[in-house]
Amino acid sequence: MRYPTRSESIVAILAGITAVVGSFAMAGYTRSFVMQPVDDFVVNTTPGVISQFMIENVGQAAHHLHRALSVLILVGLFGVFALGGFAVARRFDTAVAGIGFAGLGSWALTVALTGEPVLALGSSVPVALFTAIGTVPQPIEPTSSRRRVLAASAGAIGFVGLGLGAGSLLHESELEIDEQVPGIEGEAIEQQFQQARNQELDVASDELPGLVSTIDNFFRTSISDFDPTIPSEDWTLTVTGEVGMDTEIGYEQLTEMPIEHRTMTLRCVGESLNGKKLDTAIWTGTPIRSLLDSVDPDGECGCVMLHGEDGYYVQFPVDVLEDGFLAWGMNGQPLPRKNGHPVRLLVPGHWGETNVKWIETIELLEEPADGYWEERGWEGTGPVNTVAKLWEEGVTELSNGRVELAGHAYAGTRAIESVEVSIDGGETWNEATLSVPLPDEDVWRMWRYEFEPADSHEIVVRATDGNGNLQEQRRSSPSPSGATGWVKRTING
Ligand SMILES: Nc1nc2c(c(=O)[nH]1)N[C@H]1C(S)=C(S)[C@@H](COP(=O)(O)O)O[C@H]1N2
Ligand SMILES: [Mo]
């Protein structure tokens, strides 16, 4: 054995890069892309303390870090196959053996990772090609060796450009949802939209969401960067575990059940106090209760583990699940992929993590067990904390010189009773105007307050829930069980 030469190393890296791009060209940014299992592995094996730190301090940019690391790992793995190919070619003195080794090896690796034998050609062909480039007999003159590396680099750059283009263009339509979905149109949902529009507070800012968030703006929290693509005809929900016999329901059966539209708010336990992982949509679906008829809720622990097709799982009491809702429509559209297409669970009043997307299994448990986030130190399966938000876009200087403050407040099924605003750092408090509550049991309300500014103001907002409990004043971080404290914002007059 000898160390690879510098030009061999460069060609191997190029092989690695083009292999990842080739897989992307074949699969797009789907769960068949070779990056998915590696990225999920990186994310899932990151210790809880680190992911908690990243979620709270780095935020969205942290995603670029794990993506970059995943690509790096893959470039390394495929590169090693190319280097192995060079070694095999030397050992047996034939390029074909080396090319075969590198090509077959990287094909097998890709199939093992993705389970897609045909799409795996996307990564293995480039590795074989670059191994071929690297195994043609070394020219005697160093300049021509350099020229070869240059040509390989130019080829790789061209390949990367084409591959990235193909990957994003060719698979665009696969990622779109082109399905007829029962019950999402009609009078009932129109009326619900109309009511939400009518009851929205009239605020000066047009950036501030109304009572219903748009699908594009609705936050997304998912353990995987890669949303599952599940055609609704392939979807089933299985109830299993301590239930005697497993039951299974398909999409058609589900959507034949009584259809309801529910306006519901979701909030992620991981968001900062004044964060934006709080949104509301009008969901179309059916209550889950009748599906659980055959289930004995008084089993040993009275708890269930729910599983999503992306490998996500969360555990909470059956009693809580019984009030749940299975949704296949969102704002009059088929449920989008990012929000759980074709079917997700919605649990009234509980933290976002209980609302399993791409739901596939309900497992009745003998004993309680930790869900995905609980294994990582969170305690986010209970009812949400009360919060009144004052986002950046909620502060507007009006043309008459007054300042308008507006925002949203949420307390799950306890509902919002009142919102108070202080413009003097909490010395004195004023009642904000609230939007008329929507009839649904788990929705936010909008609030608005206007004042005459003088110098600078420390604004503080706080909500009281329907039980008469004031929002917790003590500040705490999102982990483990949701941020507490009152939102403050300084305004310079
Ligand atoms: N299958 C699955 N369901 C999931 C998650 C996930 O990663 N996978 N994330 C949960 C979390 S932590 C939250 S806050 C909500 C977010 O729902 P949204 O992405 O539709 O806003 O989905 C929950 N359901
Ligand atoms: Mo969450």
DSSP alpha helix (H) spans, 249-328 = 251-255, 318-322
Nearest to 351 by CA among 283, 271, 260: 271
Contact 147, 155 (CB under 8 A): no
For residue 111, the tally of other CB atoms under 10 A from its CB is 17
| Ligand 1 atom at minimal distance to the Cα of residue 352 | 14
Distance between CA atoms of 324 and 86, rounded to whole angstroms? Answer: 58
Is the C-beta atom of 41 inside 6 A of ligand 1?
no
pLDDT of residue 455: 87
Distance between CA atoms of 163 and 157, rounded to whole angstroms? Answer: 10
Is the C-beta atom of 312 inside 6 A of ligand 1?
yes
pLDDT of residue 240: 92
Residue nearest to atom 11 of ligand 1 (CA): 353
Is the C-beta atom of 238 inside 6 A of ligand 1?
no
**Residue-range domain boundaries for the chain:** 6-175, 187-198+209-376, 387-491
| Ligand 1 atom at minimal distance to the Cα of residue 309 | 1
Which tokens belong to 358?
């791409």
Domain at 387-491, CATH class: mainly beta
Residue nearest to atom 15 of ligand 1 (CA): 352
pLDDT of residue 217: 97
Pocket test for ligand 1, best of 351, 355, 363 (most atoms within 8 A of CB): 355
Residue nearest to atom 20 of ligand 1 (CA): 339
Domain 187-198+209-376: assigned CATH number: 3.90.420.10
Helices 95-114 & 61-92 angle (0-180, nearest 10): 150
pTM of the model: 0.93
CA 225 – ligand 2 centroid, Å = 14
Helix, strand, or coil (residue 26) = helix
First to last CA, the chain: 73
What long-range pairs does 95-103 form, CB within 8 A, spacing at least 24?
Answer: 95/132, 95/135, 95/136, 98/131, 98/135, 99/128, 99/131, 99/132, 99/135, 100/128, 101/131, 102/15, 102/127, 102/128, 102/131, 103/127, 103/128, 103/131
Is the C-beta atom of 339 inside 6 A of ligand 1?
yes
Helix, strand, or coil (residue 177) = coil
Distance between CA atoms of 283 and 451, rounded to whole angstroms? Answer: 36
Is the C-beta atom of 378 inside 6 A of ligand 1?
no
Alpha-carbon Rg for the chain, nearest whole angstrom, is 27
Is the C-beta atom of 477 inside 6 A of ligand 1?
no
- Would you give per-residue pLDDT tens digits along the chain (493 residues)? 678 999 999 999 999 999 999 999 999 999 999 999 999 999 999 998 998 888 888 878 889 999 999 999 999 999 999 999 999 999 999 999 999 999 999 999 999 999 999 999 999 999 999 999 988 765 555 567 788 888 899 999 999 999 999 999 988 887 788 788 999 988 999 999 999 999 999 999 999 999 999 999 999 999 999 999 999 999 999 999 877 778 999 999 999 999 999 999 999 999 999 999 999 999 999 999 999 876 665 567 889 999 999 999 999 999 999 999 999 999 999 999 999 999 999 999 999 999 999 999 999 998 999 999 999 999 999 999 999 999 999 999 999 999 999 999 999 999 999 999 999 999 999 999 999 999 999 999 999 999 999 989 999 999 999 999 999 999 999 999 999 999 999 998 6
Helix, strand, or coil (residue 336) = coil
